[in-house]
Amino acid sequence: MITKSDFDDLGKVIEKAREDSTPYAVYDGNSEQLSVYGDANKTENKSVDMTILFRFLKEDFEQPDDIADTKEIGKYVQYARTYTDVAITPRKNTEVLEHLLSVVPYFTELEDAMSDFKEAMEKAETKEQKSEVYRAYNIKVLHVYNTMSDDVTIALYNFVATLCGISDEEAAHMVASSVMTAASTIITEFPEVFNEAETLFGY
């Protein structure tokens, strides 16, 4: 399960990605123009290696031919796969963007809540008023998590599976902590892909 704390940590990674100047191109359908954002000279090729953990219930587990080492943890069987030279290719780019476009609204909602919180806190005069503002903010944040976290979780699973080329059957069994680590690694190494998704969301 991906927790609110996991999303908070990913939010910090996203904040750092927003400051990165790696270029990305966005097509504006209104003007029929292709705009490049960021430093056009920053064009180095990048790839990453990632290890993903998979966990199955014992009764559902059929050992893959290419997996020699498995570990039993209670009623589960777990194994790892390492994916090398993972990169965002032009072919994968649009599919990756599709998944990230389901992630952006969650963080936008949180940022709006934080903005409203700061404004309300500045207007609050008494300790009781400030406590009420803080309580309302916490309720809002939990509401955003409760209503949007399932969609964001699915999007993050699809995001990681797409980039690593993981089958649908295996993707459903990725361990949540591995998904979050992989998503954070990808956004850290390829900040332009999140920035592109966020720009598209703004359109």
pTM here is 0.86
Closest to 195 in 3D by CA, of 13, 49, 7, 9: 13
Contact 15, 127 (CB under 8 A): no
pLDDT-derived band at 82, boundaries 50, 70, 90: very high
pLDDT-derived band at 139, boundaries 50, 70, 90: very high
Contact 160, 193 (CB under 8 A): no
